[in-house]
Structure 1
Amino acid sequence: MKNLCFIILLSSIILSCDGRDSKVKNHELEMRTETIDSEHPLEGAWELVGYYNYLDNKVIDSFETTKGYRQVKMYTPSRVMWSKHIPQDSTEWFGYGNYTVDGDELTEVLEYGSEMMSKIIEEKKEFKHELIIGNDSFSQIEIDEDGNRIYAENYKRIE
């Protein structure tokens, strides 16, 4: 009986993981195949809705933002500004700079930011990501020095 329970539990876990991976693959495929109508596809306001973690360039985990957490990015044709609100943390997080999109690469060069972000900007001003974009959603994917995906921030258009 214990073996049967173990097999059922293991099967449930495997099936739920396959479903998540399939959902992630479908999400990426939808974004890659949408027709983007704008010369500046990121122009507008976007809110972070979740993350993907990668291992060997495959999504191994996905999760949504926690209740009360907000991160918003706003893009003009050449500028980006973002802010982050974490309810349990009084630290301010924001940044401002310019950006470019070249094919599937997003590059943001920050000029200034909040006190915490300014410390990061002193060390590194340029942030490059793989970009997967649709009309109403996009993912910016952090890539390591070997070209492997590490994690993605997933956004939805709010304006």
Structure 2
Amino acid sequence: MTSKFLIFSLALALAFSCKEAPENDNSTEVETEQQDKLNSLKGTWELTGFYNYKDNVVVDSFEMNPEFRQLKMYSDTKVMWCKHRPADSSEWFGYGTYDYDGERLTEVLDFGSAVMDQVIAEKKEFIFELDLQTNKFQQIELDEDGNRIYSENYVRVE
């Protein structure tokens, strides 16, 4: 009987000494996903101003006129932008696809407003240097030699 009691006690002690596997800490994964979202283009952005460059250095900057608004919206693969200028009756918008490789943003427009369709007829693909930071980015136009000309500066609104 003591041997049965001893075996039972030993089995019970082993069972209680086993530790449960620690639960997977999802907080790190959630934080990483949130940071990735903040550092991606996906979302809605508003144009806040421009930089002009000379010899790849900012030489001038302009803030947006409060009556003028431009928004860009990025999904996983699509881009759409629109421009609102109350004093101008022409419409400005474009729609297409985009790709971002970490340095270069390439937008290929499929169609746009009447004014933009004229531009698209001549040039569909627009390639920019992109300086993407948390909740803001600079879309930088380059000349044929790769020198910076000007940038459009955006902040995330959603």
Q: TM-score, normalised by structure 2?
A: 0.76
For the pair 1:78 / 2:77, whether they are aligned, the reply is yes
1:40 is displaced (CA, Å) by 7.5
Partners of 2:39 and 2:110 in 1: CA distance: 21
User: Which residue matches 1:133?
Assistant: 132
**Structure 2 unaligned blocks of 5 or more:** 1-33
Partners of 1:63 and 1:40 in 2: CA distance: 25
**Change in 2 beyond 3 A, CA 1:39/1:119:** same
Partners of 1:40 and 1:65 in 2: CA distance: 24
Query: Any idea what SS the aligned residue of 2:36 has?
Result: coil
Percent of pairs with identical residues:
58
Check whether the contact 1:40–1:77 (CA below 8 A) recurs between aligned residues.
no
Residue type at the aligned position of 1:122: A
* The structure with more radius of gyration: 2
**Structure 1 unaligned blocks of 5 or more:** 1-34
Residue type at the aligned position of 1:86: R
| Count of residues in correspondence between the two structures | 125
User: Which residue matches 1:9?
Assistant: none
1:99-110 to structure 2, matched below 5 A, reads: 99-110=98-109
Partners of 2:135 and 2:42 in 1: CA distance: 11
Partners of 1:39 and 1:66 in 2: CA distance: 27
Residue type at the aligned position of 2:113: S
Residue type at the aligned position of 1:94: F
Residue type at the aligned position of 1:75: Y
User: Which residue matches 1:27?
Assistant: none
Partners of 2:141 and 2:114 in 1: CA distance: 23
1:108-123 to structure 2, matched below 5 A, reads: 108-123=107-122
1:152 is displaced (CA, Å) by 0.2
Q: In angstroms, what is the RMSD of aligned CA positions?
A: 1.6
Check whether the contact 2:128–2:142 (CA below 8 A) recurs between aligned residues.
yes
1:7-156 to structure 2, matched below 5 A, reads: 37-38=36-37, 41-156=40-155
